[in-house]
Structure 1
Amino acid sequence: MSTANLPRLGLIGAGIMGRPMGLNLLKAGYALGVYARRPETATPLTHAGANLYASPAALAAEADIIITVVSDTPDVEAILFGEHGLVAAAKPGLLIIDMSTISPLATQEFAQRLGTQGLRMLDAPVSGGEAGAIAGTLTIMVGGQAEDFAEALPVLSALGKTITLIGEHGAGQVVKACNNLIIAQTVIAVSEAFAIAQASGVDLEKMRTALAGGFAGSKVMEVHAKRIIEENYTPGFKAKLHAKDLRIAANTIQSLGLNLPSSQLAVNYMHELVEQGQGELDSSALAKIVQQLA
């Protein structure tokens, strides 16, 4: 497909994830409009050829597909339905791809409200952090209609490598909640194993090398375990954002009437890390809580 036939894209959110994602869309040949609550955060995108818009509504008036990647559920709701929000000026048939991590239940409600106005939505949260956003190798978990997914797939392919249509609206957010729980619980398990090894006089780097080659191997063992050993918690994914995501997971668990104690432990540990004033650190700093308790 020539660039002349590509859909016109909009991007809302130019933070740690949105900026590199926008740059990858520009590299793929898409015309890109951007709205950022703090316009200065979009400077790398405008320098690369994106156009800056004054409001979500102004962007919606000209775009065929809009990607949102913002912090939390209320932010998405305001972008969609608030004053100067997308619905104020969107053309019928506009496809909105929400790549934020927000409540699955709210996502279902938003998709229904948009549908009554002739607008379409996919929830498409991501995993892979800033490094994955820069490299264009994000894992993308999608909820929504199959035909909308098919339309969005070329765009998503400029951002990620593993792109899966999970199910109906909200399904992508459910899987993202599960993803964040698995990561947090694995960091706790690695941290507790390191506490045992350290107390026994075992070299942690050698232990990491050995375990990475077996069934205990994982991305957490590969990346976060190294951070823990080096005590280098420069953020790839800030603890305060992971804590927010885990609250979404906890609310989802509660809404389903499930009793999942180890998941609740992960929620509590991350909350404690943030309460101790360490929310700006990488979420692998969860190891600090384990070390304190050990």
Structure 2
Amino acid sequence: MSLVPVTGLLREAQRGHYAVGAFNCNNMEIVQAIVAAAEAEQAPVIIQASQGAIKYAGVDYIGALARLAAERANVPVALHLDHGTGFAQVMQCVRNGFTSVMIDGSKLPLPDNIALTNKVIEAVRPLGLSVEAELGKIGGTEDDISVTARDALFTDPEEAAEFVRATGVDSLAVAIGTAHGRYQGVPKLDYERLRRITARVSVPIVLHGSSGVPDEAIQEAIALGVCKVNIDTNIREAFVSAARGVLAENPGEIDPRKVLGPAREAATEVIRGKIRIFGTCGKARNGLNIA
């Protein structure tokens, strides 16, 4: 099947009280791992490309890989721009087949974030694409986008309601205590803040920086209204660890297939586990209303 927009997937998740996994890719093997895991679990899935992935692989390569993977898949697959930095980059992704984009204006004053988000929505919604925005600053590092702990501000529920009213955005990423990259210690999510946000906002909520968050904490957030969960670091850890293992056993190995094949398998298993945690396994088996 063809790549699908994210909006329909998240609406189904919202109705079914589960979350769709959004998994970051950096190369062909990880794209293959994401789709293989989704097919094994019969789950809808979102392939994401971050700033680092676009710089490394190229937006055209990522678009082509994801389109081919979706065409061969028997489950719904979407392609999403993660933390889009500006209008020009969004349009570049649109031209390369992305079916969903995030415009990250979270560092801007609220009126400017609203204006930028509306500019993107006006341009891509007539094309049937989904738009995610962010309100509040999520700590840690997302490739070139860094937010120090001091500046990591949680999402204000009243501002979230105002933002959604002013934009009509398809989904909203919120800051409730997660962070990008590896955690130091165990993250503590602000569930009460999430309750206040979902009481005021009807659109699907997105949780960034979810690698390293305890499984039960993720499931509690999903029960409170999170419909999209982003995973990157855990995939990288599994992928690189498996590759290192091959080279440790055979330092003279020069066949990249023998190094990257096991890495792909390790990433697939991690992603399958996340899909089960998110409650998405089997959701594609009987078809989804993704229009």
More strand per residue? 2
Structure with more relative contact order (C-alpha pairs < 8 Å, separation 6 or more): 2
Q: Same fold (TM over 0.5)?
A: no
Report the TM-score when normalising by structure 2. Answer: 0.29
Structure showing greater Rg: 1
